Amino acid sequence: MGKKEVSTLFSSNPDKYYRVSLFDRLGFKRNKCISCGKFFWSLIDKNICPDHETYNFIGDPPTNKRLDYVKTWKEIEKYFQSHNHSIVRRYPVVCRWRDDLYFTIASIVDFQRIMNNKVIFELPSNPLVVPQMCLRFNDVENVGLSGRHYTSFCMIGQTCNADASGGYWKDKCIDLDFGLLTNVLGIKPEEITFVEDIWMGAGAFGYSLEYFVRGLELGNAVFTEFEGDENNYRIMKNKIIDMGAGLERLSWITMGTPTSYDCCFESVIKYLENSIGVQKDENFLSIYFKLVSKKFNSIEDDSSDKINKLKKMIAQEMKIPFEHLDKIVSPYEAIYTIADHTRTLLFAISDGSLPSNVGGGYNLRILLRRVLSIIERFKWNIKIEDLIDTHVEYLKNMFPEIEENKKEVYTILKLESDRYASTRHRMDDIASTIRKNNKQLTVDDLIRLYESDGITPDFLKEVNVITEIPSNFYVKLSELHNINQKSLSSQSIEELEGLPSTKLLYYEDSSLREFYAKIIKIIKEDYIILDQTSFYPRGGGQEPDKGTIGDAKVLEVIKQGDIVIHRVENLSSLSEGLSVKCNIDDTRRNSITKHHTATHILNSSSRTTLGSWVWQNSAFKDVNYGRLDITHHSALNKEEVDKIEKTANEIVMKNLGVNIKEYERGESEQKFSFRIYQGGVVPSNKVRIVNISEFDIEACGGTHVNRTGELGLVKILKSERIQDGVVRLEFVAGQAAINYIKNQDKNISFITQSLGSSKEKLTDSFKKYLDDSEKLRTKIKILLRKTSPILAKFISNNSKQISSEGVKLFTTFDDELDEEFHITVGEKTIDIDPLLIYVSLVSKGEGIRVIVFVGETARKYDFNAGKIAKIISTNLGGSGGGDSKFGQGGGRFKNRIEEVLRLAETYVNETIKR
């Protein structure tokens, strides 16, 4: 059974699934659309469903109130509060609680957790309403053009567990929604149409009623009644109501503005109009966008020139030239797009995401580059910072938290804009190459250009390389990057079926290093399963414990499901059923534990030092060092690294307590926020919280010290930008830090001794040493200058004459003196002897350098220094070149020196014969 069959199943029994008490009470009748066959309910007789209706509310809203975006929300909030709903604050738009999503795409996602590939619902109160900002990037190219598409929108989520206390089911849900439309917004009942639909999600599905007014879908009430899939399902124990309504649309229906952007971004649009100097022709845009709503879905989706086709059709219908229409409409399309994209960036960056070339960051970078492209195309003078300010001023009435990270948002957008400007030059070059080659670019070409060079199709359109952006570009790009590939690969061991879960002693007593356990099973002669263990298995970036089980050495420890598996070396003395003494390598565990706690401290020190966008990207904790990868936009400078280290050591010196406690998942999320998911999502309903006295709070399954003072010292060894948006810190703590310092000290002692100095005077001595060697170099140079005429004369006298005209060749191999010497001497020699060819091979490290000079007279006989250098270098396995007077090169085959010197002689001889 597919989606269609499920739909037929529900629609074939409308009384059971769709008929709600409201329909009977008010006399709603069920109709079938003559155009598409959908079933729908309305008070007045109709034979087509709302899908085919024009947006007649534009210019003529069917409500008795005019409510802008925030006011609409305030009314909704009041209404649901008075009907005993809890109002829940919005969740972050960056979806930290699900591994399969980067961004929150619907209000119900707030309350979904994935366990064993199954969606479970966890509601913080029942029933509830949440104004959830959602991010979606599959319609990017329609944003600003259709009047209703967004990359971010606020979904009013009315959510309820029907079978828990306070819950209700479909009759009451539709009563409430109908009441919202009629009593709160003042829409007449006969304006409202309910369309039958279904909803199918991961592991659950149900039926739904979508409600429309004058062709505009305002909300969709989903009744999730079944779990399983369509072939094998049962009624859920806790049925879920998930009603989602777009705030942007609810406001629009009351305002009747040309587009929904006009009432949601009013202040931003005004700001843009003022700075650009345009004035809205409300009437014209109303007529235009009403026609857009009518025709938008009728045009083939995959056409790459969709919007222009649409505009041409509308121009014809309005009986005006296309150019005239385009001149009025396109600045507004640009204004709307900018307003949408900057609001999305504001929420995403504010909630901790960064524009980058990876993961969800792709979408953000694309949005900003689109904005910058548009501004450039129209040559507008707009500051993005001012746009963000205007958004914040308005939105803080609804989302007060949006003000908190405003500065951070500026910083990131400024940085990204500068980055864009600096790559513009290169982008222009690439664009002109494409134009020259006259190549027809496919969607795949465009994706490659974006991924490798950051070139957006908007830019290519702007510089006239392409005429239109293929409408599936953004869909394809989203598909490529929205699949979150964090899934773990696990080496699966099969014979575990039926074994009891291992008792984890390391959680009961983290100091336990010696214990007795019973061998439950031995697999494949090197895997041991115990009834209980204190061996910490590899996981969450923490390296496993080592030690012994009986007299067998433990090489590796992993956890599969609830069972800990020990891989050992030589277990011949062990057998199943035996009780054995186990020992854990204490030094190793202590060192790894300290590096783990240090990771948490450094993560928070980095965030307080750098900015709110810093999250742990990944981490690794070993015996000799630890590694923490954080999300950050640029490489770190020395001051930043120093500051992070300083903050971390302050926390160490304060000797703060590290408290570990288990919480219910929902409770921990509400109490500590989603910041706890630094190491990723926890796949269980119990969450182990590691709290370093409120300085750092993370959900973590690792081992930790009791007080930060135990770390002694945290030392950052290295910081490196490892990919776009990710910086790696390598560090040591505890004994490893002491070892590191001891080693440094040893190096210093060696240098001190070599300089014949003392540690106190080391820097002075070293400065003097540098000074002395500089003086020495100068002396050598002078010496060389003074002796080179003598050397030159000597060489000239000792060179082989190779032609009757007097051309001479000097060849030498030198592994004592350097290039500089031979360049000075060579040049001097051809000065005093213009018939000379000077060829010198000099040893340099693992390779050979080649230096060739040809005197002025010799050059007249067709000798060329660059050519000779090239021949020699090529034969030495390298490359070379130069001009007729001076050539140089290098190679690596030291065993061919004799051979190439002979070769040079032969070459010279042959040239002279010619």
Residues forming contacts to Zn ion in the complex (CB under 5 A) are 33, 35-36, 38, 49, 51, 700, 702
- DSSP secondary structure letter of residue 183: I
Q: Toward Zn ion, which CB reaches closer, 48 or 755?
A: 48
CA atoms within 13 Å, Cβ hemisphere of 628: 32
Q: Toward Zn ion, which CB reaches closer, 50 or 352?
A: 50
Least spacing, CB of residue 628 vs Zn ion, in Å: 10
Dist. CA 545–CA 505, nearest whole Å: 13
Strands, DSSP E only, in 506-623? 514-523, 527-530, 532-533, 547-549, 552-560, 563-569, 579-584, 616-621
Number of CB atoms found within 10 A of residue 407's CB? 11
Question: SS3 sequence, 765-780?
Answer: HHHHHHHHHHHHHHHH
CB 168 within 8 A of CB 128: no
Least spacing, CB of residue 173 vs Zn ion, in Å: 24
**Sign of the CA dihedral with 291 first, then 294, 295, and 296 last:** positive
Residue 689: strand pairing partners: 661, 699
Least spacing, CB of residue 170 vs Zn ion, in Å: 23
Least spacing, CB of residue 692 vs Zn ion, in Å: 11
**DSSP H helical segments within 220-304, as ranges?**
247-255, 260-264, 266-276, 282-295
Q: Toward Zn ion, which CB reaches closer, 67 or 619?
A: 619
Q: Toward Zn ion, which CB reaches closer, 51 or 99?
A: 51
**3-state DSSP call for residue 740?**
helix
Least spacing, CB of residue 17 vs Zn ion, in Å: 19
- Burial-class residue 45 by CB neighbours within 10 Å (0-12, 13-18, 19+): exposed
Dist. CA 169–CA 175, nearest whole Å: 10
Pairing between strand 800-801 and 547-549? unpaired
Q: Which two three-digit tokens encode residue 884?
A: 């007729």
Strands, DSSP E only, in 339-473? none
Q: Toward Zn ion, which CB reaches closer, 248 or 696?
A: 696
Least spacing, CB of residue 542 vs Zn ion, in Å: 7
Least spacing, CB of residue 619 vs Zn ion, in Å: 7
Q: Toward Zn ion, which CB reaches closer, 567 or 728?
A: 728
Least spacing, CB of residue 624 vs Zn ion, in Å: 18
Q: What is the CA radius of gyration of the chain?
A: 37
Dist. CA 223–CA 792, nearest whole Å: 98
CB 140 within 8 A of CB 151: yes
**3-state DSSP call for residue 859?**
helix
Dist. CA 264–CA 251, nearest whole Å: 8
Helix axis angle for 735-755 and 586-610, nearest 10°, is 80
Q: Toward Zn ion, which CB reaches closer, 515 or 677?
A: 677
Least spacing, CB of residue 748 vs Zn ion, in Å: 35
Dist. CA 349–CA 355, nearest whole Å: 8
Q: Toward Zn ion, which CB reaches closer, 51 or 462?
A: 51
Q: Toward Zn ion, which CB reaches closer, 38 or 715?
A: 38
Least spacing, CB of residue 38 vs Zn ion, in Å: 5
Dist. CA 617–CA 609, nearest whole Å: 17
Least spacing, CB of residue 649 vs Zn ion, in Å: 19
Q: Which are the contacts of 24, defined by CB distance < 8 A and separation ≥ 6?
A: none
Identify which of 518, 496, 493 has the alpha carbon closest to the alpha carbon of residue 574.
Answer: 518
- DSSP secondary structure letter of residue 488: P
Residue 686: strand pairing partners: 664
Q: Toward Zn ion, which CB reaches closer, 700 or 733?
A: 700
Q: Toward Zn ion, which CB reaches closer, 510 or 875?
A: 510
CB 4 within 8 A of CB 200: no
Least spacing, CB of residue 177 vs Zn ion, in Å: 21
Q: Toward Zn ion, which CB reaches closer, 698 or 833?
A: 698
Q: Toward Zn ion, which CB reaches closer, 496 or 660?
A: 660
Least spacing, CB of residue 627 vs Zn ion, in Å: 13
